[in-house]
Amino acid sequence: MTPATAQRTDQGATEGTTQPAAWITPLLAAACGMIVANLYYAQPLVGPIARALQLSPEIAGLIVTLTQMGYCAGLVLLVPLGDIVENRKLILTLIAGCAVALTAAALASHASVFLIAGCAIGLCSVAVQVLVPFAAHLAPDHARGRAVGNVTSGLLMGIMLARPVSSLVSGLFGWHTIFAASAVAMVLLAVVLARKLPRRQPAPGVNYVQMIGSMGHLLRTQPVLRRRALYQASLFGVFSMFWTTAPLYLAGPAFHMSQTGIAIFALVGVSGAIVAPMAGRYADRGHSRQMTAIALAIGAGSFLLSRAGTEGSLLSLLALTAAAILLDFGVSANLVIGQRAIFALSAEHRSRLNGLYMAIFFVGGAIGSSVGAWAFARGGWPLASWIGFALPALALLYFRTDRT
């Protein structure tokens, strides 16, 4: 894509933008939270789902991995459609796909059906990455940053609350229920958005094949994008590993914790993400390098902390809780710093840069989930925690080679 084409696309996308109604941003924020939560409902339920579908412990991580891989594919192949397809139609189509996939997951009695449904859930959940720029297009220039920030906050709340909600619902009604309830929620959300969202038709002249090709060019020519994506891939990989294996660890013979107890543990752990926005303020003051090093060090150190105390003791549980808080902080802080860095590369290519960045680190998350389940099955929490320490530690060593 030429700069002139990119400029025409951007101009066409923002023409006719007027002051949106006051309720539109909260609606988009709530929609993002509801949709992105679909990616995380299965994480604390790996054990119950694997037992019900007769999946061996070594491959139980596929329950989470395939959902994340589907999301990665959607980031690269479907999100760019937001620049050439009428946005409301695209969003509603993806949400409808989510509802169908969630229904299949809720009704699944065979592992292959559930795994295919999980992949489809991930693929269609990229609707959130169409909604975020949609909010930017709706907002006037002077309020665009605030609108995107508010919508993104809804997305983060969906991520943070999905695991405890999933554990609580599963503990009360069984794991099928959370997927059935979310399928109903997606149908209701689609009805509301169909009535309330305005149409947004992108400017003509953008070719889908050329757009996909330009993403490959960006990846080859932007070392900052590659580095930042790899840093976040290491952290998000061990984050996914932690939240795939920690519920298995807590439900096992060391702690004998119920799904309700695991839900409370997950709810406490997400507090680390709440304080992460401070990383953006420090980055604005020129401290991006220091904050990146701190985030990677915290990610590695959290797994060392999780080994404190005798397994099953109160000290061990407190250490694991503190590790969850610190890990969430490190992952969220590094995400903010990374996005700030890549958005500074090119205003015309921010959506594609963001899609590439997120796709790469979600691949890391998918690998982390799969490796975590295998490691826990082979060596329990000790092996999983050593792998969790090693990946961000290696990323920190790689970061030290960056002299820019």
Q: In Å, what is the CA distance from 49 to each residue of 17, 63, 160, 248?
A: 46, 8, 21, 12
Q: At what angle do helices 223-251 and 208-221 cross, to 10 degrees?
A: 90
How does residue 13 score in pLDDT terms, banded at 50, 70 and 90? Answer: very low
Q: What's the pLDDT band for 154 if we cut at 50, 70, 90?
A: confident
Residues 6+ apart with CB under 8 A from 230: 360, 395, 398
212-404 is a CATH 1.10.3720.10 domain: no
Six-digit token string for 29? 């924020």
CA distance 343 to 271: 26
What average pLDDT does the chain have? Answer: 84
**Whole-structure pTM value:** 0.74
One-letter amino acid of 296: L
* Angle between helix 314-343 and helix 350-399 axes, rounded to 10 deg: 130
Of residues 356, 350, 344, 343, the one with CA closest to residue 133: 350
- The pLDDT assigned to 206 comes to 65
Q: What is the pLDDT of residues 264-296, one digit of tens each?
A: 887 777 776 666 556 666 766 777 888 899 999
Say what percent of the chain tops pLDDT 70: 85
CATH 3.20.20.70 fits 12-206, yes or no: no
Q: How many CB atoms lie within 10 A of CB 269?
A: 24
DSSP assigned state of 126: G
Cα 336 to chain centroid distance, Å, stands at: 13
Please compute Rg for the chain using Cα positions: 21
12-206 and 212-404: identical CATH topology: yes
Q: What is the mean pLDDT of residues 219-237?
A: 93
The residue ranges of every structural domain in the chain are 12-206, 212-404
